[in-house]
Amino acid sequence: MESLKGKAAIVGLGITPMGKIYGHDAVYFAKEAVRLAVEDAGLPKEDIDGLLISPGTTPLGGLAGLALQDHLGLADLRFVNALFLGGATAASIVQFAAMAVIHGLANYVLCVFADAPLREDRGGGAAYAGISSAATQPRGLTELHQAFGLFGINAQYALAARRHMHLYGTTNDHFGAIAVAQRKWAAMNSLAQERTPMTIGDYHSSHWIVEPFHHLDCCLVSNGGVAVIVTTGERARDLRQPPVYVLGMGQGHRGNLDRPGWNADTVTGAVISRDTAFRTAGIGLDDIDICELYDCYTYTVLVTLEDYGFCEKGEGGPFVADGKLGPGGSLPTDTGGGMLSGYYMWGMTPISEAVIQARGQASERQLPKHDIVLVGGNGGNLEHHCTLILSPYPS
């Protein structure tokens, strides 16, 4: 693949207030995120000629989200789509946006995620329970999952984590180290939902969701929206904010074949995605300064670090145990608190924090070295993965 360096960049970022923000639907949050992103970039709204949508759990304007164009008041667009890869969607639409502007299909492409599953009369678990149930109605061999009591996404990820524990000796202390590190980052992020200090004792005393996951192993549920704007590297130089260049990108989709010996629980699509992204960016592991990884569960961070090659398969637990992911650590990861303590905007959570760090605008939590930022998005039950390599420099 031809080098991407300097050819596309993120130039606008809009983040709404996050969390228990009631009284608004997903369309409202999308509109607000777009308004903030356009203002951030210093662009006339009329210059936007592309729109890519990552739908959440709640309706985003009808037509699977495509009607969002009308709600945003955008006319005569050159490039529009709504895509769905679960938590990998956000990184994938930034990839498609980059390809669109590089090849002249559009000049400025909005990438939008918004969701509003929380209500005052319903908690986060209830908000997702109905969706999970509807999406996993037993069919064919999948009936066996329910027959053995495997219901919902929490249980599916818990089973994957338990498999890793069985094979490699991974422990809850290892998972807890990830949760504690991310809470330390969240304490420095004014947008984070959970900023109260957390100890490993707090982690262990939090209630069980489904073993081996405690409450503090599981991501938040948030109402809110995030939007970014992608354009060419050449146009990016003339806008309000420092450009964040897309140096490399890749995807990996292992699937889950439910066959004996299939190891989707412990080897994810990050392996394939990593190879393409690193090759297109012309970098290696030693070049990465910051990791912004999808963290729907603590286990997801651990297995993703393994699959990117930061440690050998099975060594993720001891690798994270010394606190290297937190402030002052050698591999700063999920530096806004991630989805465990920051906010849950699916794959837009790691992208938004990556942009903030690459711009040098993270205030108290800003990393002095932020030349290369790795962004990983996970979708499905560890089957889908998308990677972005971002930098404040075009090469």
391 domain residue, yes or no: no
Q: pLDDT at position 134, please?
A: 46
Would you say residue 131 lies in a domain? no
Separation CA 233–CA 395 (nearest Å): 11
**Domain interval for residue 68:** 8-119+221-236
Q: Flag whether 3 is in a domain.
A: no
**Predicted pLDDT at 233:** 97
Q: From CA 323, how far away is CA 13, in angstroms rounded? A: 30
Selecting among 157, 203, 245, 344, the annotated active-site residue is: 344
98 belongs to a structural domain = yes
Task: Assess if residue 350 is contained within a domain.
Answer: no
Cis peptide upstream of residue 327 (ω within 30 degrees of 0): no
pLDDT in tens, 363-395: 999 999 999 999 999 999 999 999 999 999 998
Model pLDDT, residue 1? 52
Is 157 labeled as catalytic in the residue annotation? Answer: no
Query: DSSP 3-state helix, strand, coil percentages of the chain (rounded to 5)?
Result: 40, 20, 40
Say how many domains are in the chain. Answer: 1
The low-confidence residues of the chain, meaning pLDDT below 70, are 1-2, 129-142
SS3 223: strand
What pLDDT does residue 61 have?
A: 86
* Position 311 in a domain: no
CATH number at residue 78: 3.40.47.10
Tokens for 329, please give them. Answer: 């650590």
Amino acid 259: pLDDT = 76
Position 384 scores a pLDDT of 97
Burial class of residue 235 (count of CB atoms within 10 Å of its CB; 0-12, 13-18, 19+): middle
| Residue of 294, 297, 299, 343 with catalytic role | 294
**334 φψ region: left (φ > 0), alpha (ψ -120 to 50), beta (else):** left
Q: Is residue 48 part of a domain?
A: yes
Is 22 a known active-site residue? no
Residue 99 lies in a domain: yes
